Amino acid sequence: MKVLLIKDVYKLGRAGDVKKVATGYGRNYLLPQSLAVLATPGALKQADRIWDQAETRRAIENVELSGLADQLSGLRLIFPAKAGETDKLYGSVTPQMIADEIKEQIEVDVDRRQIDTQPIRTIGLHKANVRLTIDLIPELEVLVHREGESPESALIPLESEQVEGEVDEELDALLETADLLIEDELIADIEEAEQEIEQETESETEQLAEETE
């Protein structure tokens, strides 16, 4: 089905856009939430007006929320959690928990529905996006560590993986260099052999000419 968006919709489009969506998504979510209307001829006549009004409103919101976006960008939230030997949590870190921790750290209320992440169920460093506007979507970090251990302990495997990756890259570079050297040596050997054969051929030709004379 085709709909005309009357509000910005994350990962779908901006107010005033005409989008083709799944019927269930449109009828069960977009239309009931007043995010869109059916793209009828009458509605489409309003598309430019909706776009212009939304553009003005969006510009104001982007200015108003830019400071908050700067605060959230790169913010690290730390959660201790109980986990098994495979680092799987006994439970999860939910968007609501993240919203509560944001409130605790920077004293700003963020709706859990604005936090774009699935419930986190493993030890380690995770990323989450906060949808302030369709243009302002700062990314923050969620560090989950085992209860009774330091937060830094959850970063050790990540650092090890990074070091291993750097070592692998250096090894690949060395192997590539070695291959090039071997290839150059082989080419030099072939060229030398060709020169020797050419010299021998010339000598034999000259000798044969002398004998003929």
Spatial separation of the C-alpha atoms in residues 32 and 37, rounded to whole Å? 9
Percentage of the chain modeled with pLDDT above 70: 76
For residue 37, list its beta bridge partners. Answer: 4
The distance of Cα 52 from the centroid of its chain, to the nearest Å, equals 31
Q: Based on the domain organization, do 81 and 58 belong to the same domain? A: no
- Whether 149 maps to a domain, the answer reads yes
Q: Residue 36's domain spans which residues?
A: 2-70
Q: Which of 102, 128, 154 is the last residue of a domain?
A: 154
Q: How confident is the model at residue 61 (pLDDT cuts 50, 70, 90)?
A: very high
At CA 155, angle to CA 149 and CA 77, rounded to 5? 80
Residue range 7-47, pLDDT digits in tens: 999 999 999 999 999 999 999 999 999 999 999 999 999 99
Residue with tokens 């010299």: 199
- Whether 204 maps to a domain, the answer reads no
- Whether 90 maps to a domain, the answer reads yes
Q: Based on the domain organization, do 82 and 149 belong to the same domain? A: yes
pLDDT of residue 155: 85
Q: Based on the domain organization, do 11 and 38 belong to the same domain? A: yes
CB atoms within 10 A of CB 138: 19
Percentage of the chain modeled with pLDDT above 90: 67
- Whether 11 maps to a domain, the answer reads yes
Q: Based on the domain organization, do 49 and 92 belong to the same domain? A: no
Q: Based on the domain organization, do 81 and 143 belong to the same domain? A: yes
Spatial separation of the C-alpha atoms in residues 74 and 116, rounded to whole Å? 15
Check which CATH number belongs to the domain holding 15 and give it.
3.40.5.10
- Whether 7 maps to a domain, the answer reads yes
Please, which residues have CB within 8 angstroms of residue 1's CB and are 6 or more apart in sequence?
20, 21, 22, 23, 26, 27, 38
pLDDT of residue 156: 76
Residue range 106-145, pLDDT digits in tens: 999 999 999 999 999 999 999 999 999 999 999 999 999 9
Residue range 158-171, pLDDT digits in tens: 554 454 455 456 66
- Whether 57 maps to a domain, the answer reads yes
- Whether 64 maps to a domain, the answer reads yes
* pLDDT above 60: residue 185: yes
Q: Based on the domain organization, do 113 and 82 belong to the same domain? A: yes
Structural tokens at position 84: 């098994």
Residue with tokens 């939910």: 94
Q: Based on the domain organization, do 140 and 173 belong to the same domain? A: no
Residues 187-213, mean pLDDT to the nearest whole number: 65
Q: What is the residue-averaged pLDDT of the chain?
A: 85
Q: How confident is the model at residue 208 (pLDDT cuts 50, 70, 90)?
A: low
Q: Based on the domain organization, do 112 and 54 belong to the same domain? A: no
* pLDDT above 80: residue 182: no
Q: Based on the domain organization, do 63 and 107 belong to the same domain? A: no
> How many separate domains does the chain show?
3
* pLDDT above 80: residue 104: yes
